[in-house]
A and B are shown apart, each in its own frame.
Chain A
Amino acid sequence: MATTTVLTTESPDRWKYLNNILTRSGPYTDEAFTPGDFPKQFLADAKILVIGAGGLGCEILKNLALSGFKDIHVIDMDTIDISNLNRQFLFREADVGKSKAEVAAAFVMKRVRGVKITPFNCAIQDKDDDYYRQFKIVVCGLDSVEARRWINATLVNLVDDETLIPLIDGGTEGFKGQARVMIPTISCCYECTLDMLTPRAAVPLCTLASIPRQPAHCIEWASVIQWPKEKGDLKLDTDDPEHISWLYTQALGRAKEFNIPGVTYAMTQGVVKNIIPAIASTNAIIAASCCNEALKLATTAAPYLDNYMMYTGDESIYTYTFQHEKKEECPVCGNLPQNLTVDPESTLEQLMEKLQERPETTLKKPSFRTSSKSLYLQAPKQLEEQTRPNLEKKCKELMEEGDELSISDPGMPFNLRFIISFS
C-alpha cells in the first residue's frame, strides 16, 4: 500500500458503530471476512469516484464521507441552478452559477473532518483509462443515459488481471428509484438492461405540423419546427429563460389557433427540457442504498446487492430486489452479436433512422461497416463523401443475410454488432 491514511487523527469514539461492524462478524457476513484492522484500513485507503454532484451526488458525497471513505473524487461539469436548491442540500442561493463539483466537495470536507474530496469540473469523457484505473469503486448519480453507458463501457473495457472496478448506479423519478451493483463481466452491466428503459413516445411530425391535439404538440411544434424556421442557426438553449419564453408564446399562439387548452410556462419548460420530477427524499433513499453497497463491497462486512433494487413510494412502499441477468448478446460485456431484422427494400438511411429510434441504440452520428466493407462512415470528411451515396441504396444491395453489421458512434466507446436477417 503506497499511501496509507493514518486513522488516529480523531477520537476513537467517532466511528464507534461503523467500527463495530468492521471488528465484529455478523450472522450474514461471508466466511472470508476478517474482522479487525484490515477492512478498516482498506476503507481508509480505497479511492472512490463519484460521478455527478447533483441531487444524488450531494447525498452520495455526504454518505461516503460518513461511511469512512477518506479519498473521494467527484466529477460534474454542471453549474448550480436555482431549481437545484429544493434537494441539492450542499448548495445555497449564493452558490448559484458556481461549479457543482467544487462547491459540494468543499462543503463536505468542511463538515466532515479527515476526508479528502477532489473535485473535477469537467466531462467524464475528458478523463482517460489511467485516471479511471486508480479507483476501487465508481458510484454514479447521473440523470444521463449516455454518460452512464460511457462509464459502464469504460469500466468493462478496463477489466484485466489487476483491474475490476464495480459500478454502483442510482437513478430516481418522483417517488421511485433504483439502485444497482454491476461487477464488470461478472454481473449484468448497464448496457445489458437498456431495454428496460421506456422510450419517450415520439409524436409523428405530421401531428406537430398539421393536426395538433395536445398542449405538448403545440410546444413541440414551437421548438422543433418554429424555432429553426424563425431563429435560423441560433441554437436553442433550454436553460435560457428568454428562449423558453419565446417558445411558450409561440406554443400559446398555436394552441389558441386550434382551441387547445392547457399550455403553461411550466409545461413548456417540462416538455422542452424533458424535466423529471425530483425530490430530496427519493434521492436520499437511492443514494444511501448505493453507498451502503459501496461500504459492503469495500469491507465485505455484509453481502452486497446482487444486483438490482427498485423502490416505489407513491402507493404504500414497494421494493423489488432481484438479480437482473447478464445478456449474452450485450454489445459491451457479452460475446454474441444481436439479431437484427432488416427490410431488404429499405435504404441504409431508413435503417439508420429506425435504429436511432430504439432505446438501446440512441445513436448520434453512426458509422456502418460489414466484415467486408465500409457502408457509411461519418469521418473523415473524404470517406464520408465517398460512402454517402450508399445511404440511398437499398439494404439488399449492401448486405447479405447472415452478414455481421458493426455500428460505431462517437458517443459510444464500443461497437454494436448485429447479425442481419431479411424480413
Chain B
Amino acid sequence: MSVPGAPTAKEKKYDRQLRLWGAGGQEALETAHILLVNATAAGTETLKNLVLPGAGRFTIIDDAVVTDEDLGTNFFLDDSSIGLSRAQKTCELLCELNPDVKGDYINDSIENVIKSTPEKLKEFTIVLATGDIVTSTLLSLDSILYPLDTPIFVLKCVGFAVTCRLALSEHTIVETHPASTVDLRLLNPFPELLALAEEKAGSMNDKSKMNTHDHGHIPYVLILLRALDDWKSTHDDNVPSNYSQKNQFKSFVRSKMWDADEENFEEAIAAVLPHFNSPSIPSGTKAVFEDEKTKSLTSSSTNFWIVARAIKDFAEKNNGLLPLPGALPDMKAESKDYIQLQNVYKSKARADLAAVVEIAKSLLSELGKPADSISEPEIETFCKHAGYIKLIRGRSLKQEYEDSPNAKKISNEISEPTSLIHYYLGLRAYESFISEESNTKRVAPGVEDSSVESDAEKMDKYVTEILDKLSITHSPELLEGTSKAIREIVRVGGGELHNISSLAGGIVSQEIIKVITKQYIPMSNTVVFDGISSRTEVYEL
C-alpha cells in the first residue's frame, strides 16, 4: 500500500494512544526507564499499563520468592513460578506483553541495592516503590532520588485502601491539553483583523450594499468586531465590560439580524460571554514568569525556562499580551472567508512566534549557547500553550515525614467522618507497624485471626503518635473515622485484593505517563482511594 500519509506499523499499533499524547509523548515514553521496587500485584499491574503503550525499559528490584498467596493476587505469575524469584518471573511474563519493551530484574532487596550500589538508582527516569517498605528505606530512596529530580511514587495497597504519594521536586508542563486554546482578541484586535472586519462586515448594516446570502454568511468574529465599533461610538469609546453591559451588547447584536434564523448572528451572540475578556496573564503562566528560574537564566537553564523568559519579555513589550495561539473555532461562513480569517489569525501567530524566536536567540547567545539549540517547533508549541503552562514544585518525603509536615491539612480533615484522610493515616500506621524494630520479620497487622483486634489497637496507637508529632489535638471521638479505616485495613491481614491493586495500578500508570510525557497535569501530591465508597481524594502533604 503506497498511500501518502498512511500509518506505519508502529503508528497502527499505538494509534489509540497517539491521539492522546502524540509522537512527542510517545518518544518520551519510549526513552524512559522505570524502576519497580517489589513485584506486588499493584506494581506489576502498573507496569502492565506502561509496557503495553511501549515504555522503553523497566527494571524490577525484589528479593521475594513466589508464594501461593502471590498467585491469588498477581496475574503475572503462574503455577510454575512458585518457589522462584518473583522479580524474574514477573519480568518474564510482563515482557511477553510487548516485544518493543526491554525488561530487567535484580533479585535482591532494595535495602541491599541502596547499601551496595546506590549509583544504580541514578539510571532510572522514574521510580515506583510498592509493597511493605519500612519508613527508613523510603526516606533513603527519597534522599538519593529527590535531589536528582527523579520522580518517586510510593504506592500502598492494603485491602480496599490505597494511597499513592508522588515526590516530584520540579515539574514543568507545556502541553497541558486545555479544552481550547482559542483567543479571538475581540477586545484588543490587531490591525489585520480590523481590516478584514471592515472589508467583510463593513456594510453589515446596509441592505443596499450587501445581499441577504452574504449577510447570513459573515463569520461571527467579524460581526462582533463590526458591532463593537458601532457600540463604542455611542458608549464613549468603551467596550462592554460587565455582565449587564455584555448582555446589552448581545441584544445590540441581535438587533442587527436581518432574518430570525441567521445562524452566524446566533453564533456571534453566544460568543460574547466566553470571548469578551480583557487580556490578563493566567495565574499558572504568571507563576512561571515570576519564578526565579525565569528571572535569572544561567548557562544550565533548561529550554523550558529560556523559552518562558523569551515569552515573558515578549509580553512585556506587547502590552501584556501573550503570543497569539492562532486557533480558530469552526463557524458559519463561506469557505474562502473562513480560510481568509483563519489565515489572518495564523499570520499573526507566526509573526508573534518569529518575535519570540528572535528573543530566544539573543537570550541563548547571552548564555553562550548556540542560537539554534532550541528548535522552532519547540518554541511554537510553547507559544500555542503560553496561557496554559504549568509549574509544579513538589515536596520530598522527608518534608512530609520530618521537616515540614502539612499538619494543617490533616487537622482540617480529621473531624470529617467520611474524609479519606483516615485511610492516609491508617496506611501511615500500617507503615509504622511493619517498620517497628521489634517486628523483625515485618509481619503485617491482622495476619492471624487471633491478633486482629490487638493489632488494630497497636495501629490506633501509631496514629496518635503521628498526630502528636504533628501537634494535632485528637480524641477518640475525633478519630472514629481513622479507627474504622484501621479496622478495615487490619481485616485483610496485610495483603492485596486484586481489583483494588489493579485499579491502583491504573491510577498510578496514568500519573506516571503524565510525568514522563510532560503532558497533562499530574496530581499533587497524594491520592487516596477507598474501594468501599469508590471515591478518590487528592491531598497536598
Chain A residues with CB under 8 Å of chain B are 10-11, 13-18, 20-21, 23-28, 59, 62-63, 66-67, 82-83, 85-87, 89, 92-93, 110-113, 174-175, 179, 211-214, 241-242, 245, 248-249, 258-260, 264-266, 269-270, 275-289, 291-293, 295, 302-303, 305, 309, 311, 313-319, 321
A50 to nearest B CB, angstroms?
14
**Which residues of chain A have C-beta atoms less than 8 A from B68's C-beta?**
10-11, 13-14, 16
B11 at the interface (CB under 8 A from A): yes
Given A16-B495, A66-B73, A292-B531, A113 contacting B79 (CB threshold 8 A): yes
**Interchain CB contact under 8 A, A82 and B13:** yes
Q: For A15, what are the chain B residues with a Cβ–Cβ distance below 8 Å?
A: 72
**Surface stretch bound by A, among B30-38, B200-208, B506-514:** B506-514
Judge whether A83 and B13 touch: CB under 8 Å. Answer: yes
Determine the distance from Cα of A211 to Cα of B331 in the docked complex, in whole angstroms.
11
Measured in the bound complex, the distance between the Cα atoms of B217 and A239 in whole Å is 37
Q: Which residues of chain B in 173-205 are interfacial with respect to chain A, using CB atoms and an 8 Å cutoff? A: 176-177
Question: In the complex, which residues 7-25 of chain B have their Cβ closer than 8 Å to any Cβ of chain A?
Answer: 7, 9, 11-20
Nearest 3 CB-CB pairings of A with B = A17-B495, A284-B506, A285-B506
Is the C-beta of B518 less than 8 angstroms from some C-beta in chain A?
A: no
Q: When the two chains form their complex, are residues A17 and B73 in contact, meaning their CB atoms are under 8 A apart?
A: yes
Q: Could you list some 17 contacts between A and B, CB below 8 A?
A: A17-B73, A23-B449, A27-B487, A85-B98, A89-B97, A111-B78, A112-B75, A175-B20, A212-B335, A245-B3, A259-B336, A277-B16, A279-B16, A281-B510, A309-B535, A314-B521, A317-B507
- CB closest residue in chain B, given A266: B7
- Contact assessment for B339 and A260 in the assembled complex, using a CB-CB cutoff below 8 Å: yes
With beta carbons under 8 angstroms apart, the residue of B503, B535, B536, B537 that contacts A292 is B503
CB distance from B167 to the nearest CB of A (A): 16
For residue A280, which residues in chain B have a CB less than 8 angstroms away from its CB?
A: 48-49, 52-53, 506, 509
Instruction: Kindly provide the distance from the CB of B309 to the nearest chain A CB, expressed in whole angstroms.
Output: 26
B69-87 Cβ-contact flags toward A at 8 Å (1 or 0) = 1011101001100000000
Is the pair A275, B7 in contact by a Cβ cutoff of 8 Å? Answer: no
Verify if B6 is at the interface (C-beta below 8 Å from A). yes
Q: Is B367 an interface residue (CB 8 A)?
A: no
- Do the beta carbons of A321 and B497 come within 8 Å of each other? no
- Residue B505 lies at the interface, judged by CB distance under 8 Å to chain A: yes
For the complex formed, measure the closest distance between the CB of A234 and the CB atoms of chain B, giving whole angstroms: 18
> Would you call B56 an interface residue if the criterion is a C-beta within 8 Å of the partner chain's C-beta atoms?
no
A302 touches B520 (CB 8 A): no
Are A281 and B487 neighbours in the complex by a CB distance under 8 Å? no
Do A319 and B333 touch (CB < 8 A)?
Answer: no
- Rounded to whole angstroms, the CA-CA distance of A33 and B219 in the bound complex is 65
Do A62 and B20 touch across chains, with their CB atoms under 8 A apart? no
Contacts of B177 in A (CB 8 A): 314
Residue of A nearest to B496 (CB): A17
Stretch at the interface among B252-260, B291-299, B522-530: B522-530
Cβ contact within 8 Å between A285 and B510: yes
Q: A24-B452, A66-B499, A265-B5 are in contact. List 12 more A-B contacts (CB 8 A).
A: A16-B495, A18-B72, A20-B495, A24-B491, A87-B16, A211-B217, A265-B6, A280-B506, A284-B502, A285-B507, A314-B520, A317-B527
Contact assessment for A13 and B67 in the assembled complex, using a CB-CB cutoff below 8 Å: yes
* Inter-chain contacts of A315 with B (CB < 8 A): 176, 520-521
CB pair B499–A259 under 8 Å, yes or no, is no
Shortest CB–CB separation between residue A56 and chain B, in angstroms? 11
Known contacts A259-B339, A302-B160, A289 near B493 by CB under 8 Å: no
Provide the residues of chain A in CB contact with B520, threshold 8 Å.
175, 313-315
B387 CB-CB contact with A under 8 Å: no
Among residues of A, the one whose C-beta sits closest to the C-beta of B495 is A17
B500 within 8 A of partner (CB): yes
Interface residues of B in 68-117 (CB under 8 A from A): 68-69, 71-73, 75, 78-79, 96-99
CB of B13, distance to nearest CB on chain A (Å) = 6
**Residues of B in contact with A, size category:** 35 or more
What residue in chain B is nearest A92 (Cβ atoms)? B96
The residues of B that contact A242 with a CB separation of less than 8 Å are: 1
Q: Which residues on B sit within 8 Å (CB–CB) of A269? A: 15
Q: Which residues of B contact A286 (CB under 8 A)?
A: 506
Give the docked Cα–Cα distance between A132 and B165 (Å).
43
The one of A20, A67, A86, A212 in contact with B53, judged by C-beta atoms closer than 8 angstroms, is A86
Nearest-neighbour CB distance to chain A for B507, whole angstroms, equals: 6
Distance A141 CA – B185 CA, assembled complex (angstroms): 44
Q: Given A82-B13, A241-B1, are A288 and B506 also a contact pair (CB < 8 Å)?
A: yes
Is B534 engaged at the interface, CB distance under 8 Å to the other chain? yes
Name the CB-closest residue of A to B45: A284
Among A25, A259, A316, find the residue whose CB has the most chain B CB atoms closer than 10 A.
A316
In the bound complex, do residue A316 and residue B523 qualify as a contact, i.e. CB atoms below 8 Å apart?
A: yes
Q: How far is the CA of A264 from the CA of B73 in the complex (A)?
A: 44
Find chain A residues with CB under 8 A from B506 CB. 280-286, 288
Query: Interface 1/0s, chain B 128-169, versus A by CB < 8 A?
Result: 000000000000000000000000000000011000000000
B488 contacts chain A at the CB level, 8 A cutoff: yes
Q: Is B330 interfacial (CB 8 A cutoff)?
A: yes
Whole-angstrom distance between the alpha carbons of A111 and B487 in the complex?
33
* Chain B residues positioned under 8 Å from A62 (CB to CB): 75, 502
Give the docked Cα–Cα distance between A305 and B496 (Å): 20
- With a CB–CB cut-off of 8 A, which chain B residues contact A266? 7, 11, 15, 18-19
Q: Does B499 contact A281, Cβ atoms closer than 8 Å?
A: no
Contact A67–B16 (Cβ < 8 Å): no
Known: A28-B532, A313-B510. A66 touches B72 (CB 8 A): yes
Quick check: B502 and A175 within 8 Å, CB to CB?
no
Given the complex of chains A and B, what is the CA–CA distance between A316 and B534 in angstroms?
17
A240 to chain B, nearest CB (A): 11
CA distance A277 to B53 in the complex (A): 13
- B18 closest partner in A (C-beta): A266
Contact B52 A87 (CB under 8 A): yes
8 Å CB contact of A89 from B48, B176, B335, B493: B48
Give which listed residue, A63, A258, A264, contacts B498 with CB less than 8 A.
A63
User: Could you tell me the distance in whole angstroms from the C-beta of B24 to the nearest C-beta in chain A?
Assistant: 15
**Contact of B533 with A by CB under 8 A:** yes
Q: How far is the CB of B226 from chain A (nearest CB, A)?
A: 20
Query: How far apart sit A318 and B527, CA to CA, in the bound complex (Å)?
Result: 10
Residues of B within 8 A of A66 (CB): 72-73, 75, 498-499
Contact of B69 among A16, A278, A305 (CB under 8 A): A16
Nearest to B78 among chain A residues (CB) is A111
- Asked if B442 is at the interface of the complex by the 8 Å CB criterion, the answer is no
Let me know if A264 and B72 touch, CB within 8 A.
no
User: In the complex the two chains form, is B503's CB within 8 Å of A213's CB?
Assistant: no
Chain A residues with CB below 8 A from B16, complex form: 83, 86-87, 275-279
Determine how close the nearest CB of chain B comes to the CB of A186; give it in whole angstroms. 18
Q: Which chain B residues lie closer than 8 Å to A285 at the CB level?
A: 503, 506-507, 510
